[in-house]
Amino acid sequence: MASWRFFGSGVSTGMFGPSLSIGAGLGADVTWLSESAHAPALIALSMCGFLTAVTQAPITAMIIVMEMTDGHSMVLSLITSALLAS
């Protein structure tokens, strides 16, 4: 469903945009349910995990999310999330 919306809007994102958006939404829901103070980190980990699950490319997903969120301090956490999702 998200792919069709992105396709209809004219934005050229392919699978990356919808996957990252859905992952961020799931991460936001988890932080809301758990009332965690680490919302940005959990959202980034969820984005990385969902993108890895969709594309089956853990290193690529980890690098994309790390560069998007400027999360150079989260490298080990992102690698762990990507490898668990793959």
| Per-residue model confidence as pLDDT tens digits over 22-52 | 999 999 999 999 988 888 999 999 999 999 9
pLDDT score recorded for residue 26: 92
Q: What does R_g of the chain's alpha carbons equal in angstroms?
A: 13
Tokens, residue 71: 């999360």
pLDDT score recorded for residue 37: 86
Specify the pTM: 0.81
Look at residue 81 and tell me whether its pLDDT is greater than 60.
yes
- Structural domain span for residue 19: 2-85
Provide DSSP, 42-76: HHHHHHHHHHHHHH--HHHHHHHHHHHHT-GGGHH
pLDDT score recorded for residue 3: 59
Rounded Cα gap, residues 57 and 11, in angstroms: 23
Left (φ > 0), alpha (ψ -120 to 50) or beta: where does 14 sit?
Answer: left
How far is C-alpha 49 from the geometric centre of its chain's CA atoms?
A: 6
Total structural domains within the chain: 1
pLDDT score recorded for residue 19: 87
